């Protein structure tokens, strides 16, 4: 059994089962790079402040660099005997340079040390997620440009509502993921605060230069309250929340692609490389990867709710409950990363069935609102026009006709204001062209939106 760094107070060794239950090394080992980087900055600061000598700092720094190389090269095992990554690094350091290694912990606690490591990890994770969202957005823009001439029904309540351009539909997800990027960017501002120097909870008696450490590690500021710095994980919760919203958006897109790929819709063909087959039905081509993204959304939600529940009743300051932050954080990041990579690659390979989509806009009375607008243009109120069009549609349903198939005489029986120019208002493509108000689905507006999206990505 590895000797504990806190063992002086205890007369007996920890129970073996309790030791396994208490240890976090099996998952927090992935913080080794952040732990060593933070330790090196702390060491240089100790030397600058003459708390340790420059010669001592040089030996410690060389040993830490060697430990990092060994861990990167898998030369060092993250064995269960160590309680956590912090004690593993310290014990390995002492094994290399003797008791001099024990000086490294001067002026700090595992409490501010782990908060530092987690902040550095979340900072790196946010950077990776931002890059991946950007790649997904590029794929959406490219797909929208490639299929600029295609139209399909827009839906409410999963019922055909109005015709829209496919590019307009795809750019809706660009806007959603743009807000996702903004959320992570805001999260980063609150992550990038240095907690080191807060020690266990009350600060340190040593003359630490916290600003120096913050500058070396790329933090924007230092924490203002030592108790808050070691005892809160709201920045982790914010990452979990931002990830949950992002996954919700990915899930909605996945759901639409699943629906569109069904025989009932037939709007898209999914690439074989992103589908699976059935063990019993030879004809099947299943959108499993999209379904997995949809399913993994609940997994990320679960981490958010679980850790919110963990934190809700904790008194100040540090409590062991907070060890639960790491598995939730790590698994959420892994899940988000995988889902973004998969869906970005899939988007690039989607092909659309333009004729099927166009045909869907010509059935189901999608131009009804335009007919109502036409009557308003002729001098009526919208409510009167709405009622009149409703009656026309009921008549068309009974006649098993679409609006454009009705004769002028049939339509005039409902309103004398209707004339032969009405048919210009009953063509889905023309209806789309009329919607050139800002944010609308009109071709000119969509082209402007595409250009704006490309400029935002490039900037």
Q: Is the dihedral of CA 448, 450, 451, 457 positive or negative?
A: positive
What distances in angstroms separate CA 140 from CA 250, 453, 454, one per listed residue? 12, 10, 10
| Catalytic residue of the set 157, 279, 437, 459 | 157
- Give 161's Cβ-side CA count (13 Å radius): 7
The phi and psi torsions of 319 (rounded to 5 degrees) equal: -135, 150
Q: Is 98 exposed, middle or buried (0-12, 13-18, 19+ CB in 10 A)?
A: exposed
- Strand pairing category for 221-222 and 268-269: unpaired
Name, in order, each residue with C-beta under 8 angstroms of 229's C-beta and a sequence gap of 6 or more.
112, 115, 193, 195, 198, 223
Is 168 tagged catalytic? no
Q: How far apart are CA 75 and CA 293, in angstroms?
A: 35
Q: How far apart are the first and last CA of the chain?
A: 54
Q: 41 and 113 in contact (C-beta within 8 Å)?
A: no
Nearest to 362 by CA among 409, 417, 430: 430
Q: Where are the alpha helices (DSSP H) in 82-165?
A: 85-97, 110-146
Name, in order, each residue with C-beta under 8 angstroms of 46's C-beta and a sequence gap of 6 or more.
52, 57, 103, 104, 106, 107
| Catalytic residue of the set 53, 58, 262, 278 | 278
DSSP secondary structure, 240-292, as one string = HHHHHHHHHHHHHHHHHHHHHHSTTT--EE--GGG-B--SS-TT--B-HHHHH
Question: Which 8-state DSSP code applies to residue 228?
Answer: H
Is 42 tagged catalytic? no
Q: 404 and 427 in contact (C-beta within 8 Å)?
A: yes
Indicate the SS3 state at residue 300: helix
Catalytic residues, by residue number, are 157, 278
């Amino acid at each position: 059994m590895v000797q504990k760094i806190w063992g002086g107070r205890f007369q007996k060794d920890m129970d073996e089962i309790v030791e396994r239950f208490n240890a976090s090394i099996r998952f927090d080992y992935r913080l080794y790079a952040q732990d060593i980087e933070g330790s090196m900055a702390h060491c240089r600061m100790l030397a600058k402040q003459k708390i340790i000598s420059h010669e001592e700092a040089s030996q410690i720094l060389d040993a830490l660099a060697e430990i990092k190389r060994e861990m990167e090269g898998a030369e060092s095992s993250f064995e269960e005997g160590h309680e956590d990554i912090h004690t593993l690094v310290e014990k390995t350091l002492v094994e290399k340079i003797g008791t001099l290694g024990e000086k490294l912990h001067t002026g700090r606690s595992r409490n501010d040390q782990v908060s530092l490591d987690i902040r550095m990890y979340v900072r790196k994770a946010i950077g990776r997620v931002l890059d991946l969202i950007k790649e997904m957005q590029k794929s959406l823009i490219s797909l929208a440009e490639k299929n600029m001439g295609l139209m399909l029904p827009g839906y409410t309540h999963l019922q055909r509502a109005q015709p829209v351009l496919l590019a307009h539909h795809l750019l809706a997800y660009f806007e959603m993921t743009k807000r996702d990027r903004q959320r992570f960017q805001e999260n980063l501002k609150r992550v990038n605060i240095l907690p080191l120097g807060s020690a266990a909870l009350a600060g340190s008696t040593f003359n630490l230069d916290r600003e120096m450490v913050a500058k070396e590690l790329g933090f924007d500021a230092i924490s203002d309250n030592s108790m808050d710095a070691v005892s809160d994980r709201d920045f982790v919760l914010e990452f979990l929340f931002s990830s949950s919203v992002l996954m919700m958006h990915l899930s909605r897109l996945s759901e639409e692609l699943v629906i569109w790929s069904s025989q009932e819709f037939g709007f898209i063909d999914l690439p074989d490389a992103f589908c699976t087959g059935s063990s019993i039905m030879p004809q099947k081509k299943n959108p499993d990867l999209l379904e997995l993204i949809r399913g993994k959304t609940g997994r990320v939600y679960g981490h958010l709710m679980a850790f919110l529940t963990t934190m809700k009743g904790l008194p100040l300051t540090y409590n062991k409950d907070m060890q639960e932050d790491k598995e939730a954080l790590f698994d959420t990041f892994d899940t988000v990363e995988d889902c973004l990579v998969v869906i970005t690659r899939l988007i690039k390979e989607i092909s659309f069935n333009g004729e099927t989509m166009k045909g869907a806009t010509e059935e189901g009375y999608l131009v009804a609102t335009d007919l109502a607008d036409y009557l308003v243009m002729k001098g009526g109120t919208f409510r009167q026009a709405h009622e009149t069009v409703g009656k026309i549609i009921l008549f068309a349903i009974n006649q098993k006709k679409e609006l454009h198939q009705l004769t002028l005489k049939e339509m005039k029986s409902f309103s004398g204001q209707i004339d032969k120019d009405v048919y210009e208002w009953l063509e889905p493509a023309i209806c789309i062209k009329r919607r050139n108000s800002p944010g609308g689905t009109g071709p000119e507006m969509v082209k402007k939106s595409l250009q704006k999206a490309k400029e935002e990505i490039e900037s």
